[in-house]
Structure 1
Amino acid sequence: MTSRRIISSEKTILDKDDDDFQPGPGAAERSSTAPAVPLDVILKLLAFTFAMVVIPIGSYFLTVNTIFGGNSTYAGALAAILANVVLVGYVVVAMNEDQSDQLEAEKKKQQKERQGKAE
């Protein structure tokens, strides 16, 4: 088996990879400093994370002695149910957000088609 020699004038694979990362002309115009995840998505995640911690634990300690008379089994069951309610709420909000994004994309597409027909 023979191997290919790299001539000094040729670029190696490593040199070619380095060229991919060099900014070319107009690279500053294409650069985006916008965050990868929108702020409203981060805020929703933080809110549901806070709710996932506070609601079940809070409900346990509020109900164990007041409503259930010291029965920690029922208070724990209620806490587990409320944790699932928070989780299902997060899934529903995420699905609605995803559907609204799809509807906006469809509206933009329809508007572009109308503009194309008008011209």
Structure 2
Amino acid sequence: MASRRTISSEKGFIEKGDATAFSPAALEKSNIAPAVPPGVIFKLLAFTFAMVVFPIGSYFATVNTIFRGKMSNSTFAGATAAFIANVVLIGYVIVAMKEDQSERLEAEEEAKKSK
């Protein structure tokens, strides 16, 4: 396994005394706001929770209630769980597309106002 050896004549970042990285001007340019809005993260977490809970819940809810008398009740209950997973996935895609459209419309309205 290869490793990098430091040569004693080389100076590291701290030893160089590069004050530009820690200057007040560099800190003012820094933007510590999250890259993704909290609403988007909340929607993703909600749909992730739904993607885990709804299909599993629908499987166990239907395997012993709706498909009790069928010969292959677990197959039908599994198909129901797969259908529910697809419904959740399609719902997420629809919500994401509507959110993207609303952001684009807001940007267009702001551009019209600034003219």
TM over 0.5: yes
**Structure 2 unaligned regions, length at least 5:** 1-17
User: Stretches of 4+ moved more than 3 A in 1?
Assistant: none
Q: Matches of 2:107 and 2:22 in 1, distance apart?
A: 31
- Pairwise CA distance, 1:25: 5.6
Q: Is 1:79 aligned to 2:81, yes or no?
A: yes
SS at match of 2:44: helix
SS at match of 1:26: helix
User: Residues 40-119 of structure 1 correspond to what in structure 2 (within 5 A)?
Assistant: 40-69=39-68, 71-113=73-115
* Deviation per residue, 1:20-60 (Å, 9 max, x gap): x7355622222111011110111100000000000000000
**Structure 1 unaligned regions, length at least 5:** 1-18, 114-119
Q: Which has the higher contact order (CA 8 A, sep 6+)?
A: 2
1:14 maps to none
Q: Percent identity?
A: 67
Cα RMSD (Å):
1.6
Q: Give the alignment's TM-score, normalised by structure 2.
A: 0.76
Q: Matches of 1:107 and 1:36 in 2, distance apart?
A: 23
Between Structure 1 and Structure 2, how many residues are aligned?
94
